[in-house]
A = this chain, B = another copy of it.
Amino acid sequence: VAGGFSWPVRVYWEDTDGGGIVYHASYLRFLERSRTEWLRSLGCSQTALAADPGVVFAVTRLLIDYRRPARLDDALSVVCAAAAVGAASLSFEQRILREAPSGGEELLVTATVKVACVNARTLKPQRIPETLAAVLSSKNL
């Protein structure tokens, strides 16, 4: 899983907590924004999928390691790489990085996220829609 899609996220007051750093649950929102934008970059609209064929993606398992804290005003990069594609699920390896003043990048967070494709109404597992599966396959995913 070298490289991968990256999405910029700015840290605002809403993301911080009274400890003066980003609240630990806020990173899950950042991770999902990157997954959403990765899907969008593949031409996949979740709103369209929810309407037809009526599927959404639901997180089923998440492992997250907090290595260094992010702070107000930080400019982050949230990396999203599809690590495995099943018939009805996707796994992602994700990282959150901060541009260091020195010019390099600091690794703040790593996460492994598994999402299931489910029926939007019943939440029962559903095959990944053909159109998306074809795009993933064309990228050797």
A residues neighboring B (CB under 8 Å): 10, 12-14, 16-21, 23-26, 28-29, 32-33, 36, 45-47, 50, 56, 58-66, 69, 71-73, 120, 123
A59 touches B66 (CB 8 A): yes
The smallest beta-carbon distance between A118 and chain B, in angstroms, is 9
Taking CB as reference atom, which chain B residue is nearest A68?
B123
A63 touches B66 (CB 8 A): no
In the complex, A59→B62 CA distance in Å? 14
Taking CB as reference atom, which chain B residue is nearest A25?
B28
**Can you list 16 contacts pairing A with B, beta carbon distance less than 8 Å?**
A12-B33, A13-B17, A13-B19, A13-B23, A14-B23, A14-B25, A14-B33, A18-B72, A24-B32, A28-B28, A46-B73, A47-B72, A50-B72, A58-B66, A60-B65, A63-B64
One complex includes copies of this chain to the number of 4
In the complex, A62→B16 CA distance in Å? 18
